[in-house]
Amino acid sequence: MREWMLHELTREDITNKARSGYAVVVPLAATEQHGPHLPVYTDSLICEHITTEAISKAADQVPILMAPVLTIGCSQHHLSFGGTLSFTSSTYLQVLKDIGESLITDGFTKIIFLNAHGGNEPIMIQTANDLAVRHPIWVASASYWHLASAALKEMGAAEIGMVPGHAGGFETAAVLALAPEQVRQDRIQTTHTEREWITKGRPGTFIGKHRELTGVDGYTDAPYKATAEAGRKYLSCIVDCVAEWLITTVQAMEKGSVE
């Protein structure tokens, strides 16, 4: 039994950890189309790996638990391509609030949302704000690519495609590292029309186009440069960055007080 895995514990175990001040990480992912070559479970596969590995590292230094991965997110912009399960934005907001409220009822006062799908991000941030306004608790939220952006840039991750992109070289490399049998190699294209505005906007701004929010034909870039070796390297980097953030975030929460 992994003591930091919430869903492997009993109700008494969870109650005791809540009373002891443990933080709970809620991993957010999606089940949505990822082009013609990747499984619809891509975001959830990546999310589970990053979160599990990062928390296993962080748990050695801070009291922290991992909740089950929420494998359906807000993916309305993918529905037109097929192969997608999605909550509407209003439903997803309520889902995240309900999860937060459940944890609060369980006795937890430190909640962290860790995200692996772009469409979830604004709703996650709003939820974190709403929970902190309503309850005397600590709440934090982040998407893995923001936490690791500087490190990935220094490693030259963009050489295989947009980071993180959608079903492009970066995500394809990650799936090749985690579940290579799920990548349809025969469907990988060597060319793909790219939309620069997807990654070139200023921080805090948004620009989008109908049916092209994640690129032409539902993906951002040609994934032909992806390799399992690159995927392993970049995932390891992300895990380290996320673990570091979790440790510093929980430590900051422990130093403060909520009244």
pLDDT higher than threshold 60 for residue 205: yes
- Does any domain span residue 214? yes
Average pLDDT value for the chain: 94
**Interval 224-232 mean pLDDT:** 97
- Does any domain span residue 194? yes
- Does any domain span residue 86? yes
Cα distances (angstroms) measured from residue 253 to each of 65, 170, 184: 15, 33, 44
CATH of the domain at 229: 3.40.50.10310
Q: How far is CA 197 from the centre of its chain?
A: 22
Domain count, the chain: 1
Cα distances (angstroms) measured from residue 255 to each of 57, 87, 176: 21, 36, 41
CB-based burial label for 89 (10 Å; 0-12, 13-18, 19+): middle
**Interval 154-168 mean pLDDT:** 94
- Quick one: pLDDT band at residue 4, thresholds 50, 70, 90? very high
C-beta of residue 163 within 8 angstroms of C-beta of residue 170? yes
- Does any domain span residue 132? yes
Among the residue ranges 40-44, 118-122, 171-175, 216-220, the one predicted with the least confidence is 216-220
At residue 258, the pLDDT reads: 53
pTM above 0.85, yes or no: yes
- For residue 138, the cross-strand partners are 110
- Does any domain span residue 1? no
- Show the domain range for 150: 6-255
DSSP 110: E
Which tokens hold the place of 252? 């900051």
- Quick one: pLDDT band at residue 257, thresholds 50, 70, 90? low
Among the residue ranges 60-64, 132-136, 174-178, 197-201, the one predicted with the least confidence is 197-201
Long-range contacts at 232-236 (CB < 8 A, ≥ 24 apart):
232/177, 233/155, 234/152, 234/155, 234/157, 234/170, 234/173, 234/174, 235/46, 235/49, 235/50, 235/174, 235/177, 235/178
At residue 220, the pLDDT reads: 87
- For residue 142, the cross-strand partners are 114
Residue 26 Ramachandran class (φ > 0 left, ψ -120 to 50 alpha, else beta): beta
C-beta of residue 95 within 8 angstroms of C-beta of residue 86? no
pLDDT higher than threshold 70 for residue 259: no
Cα distances (angstroms) measured from residue 53 to each of 16, 131, 135, 242: 24, 27, 30, 9
At residue 216, the pLDDT reads: 82
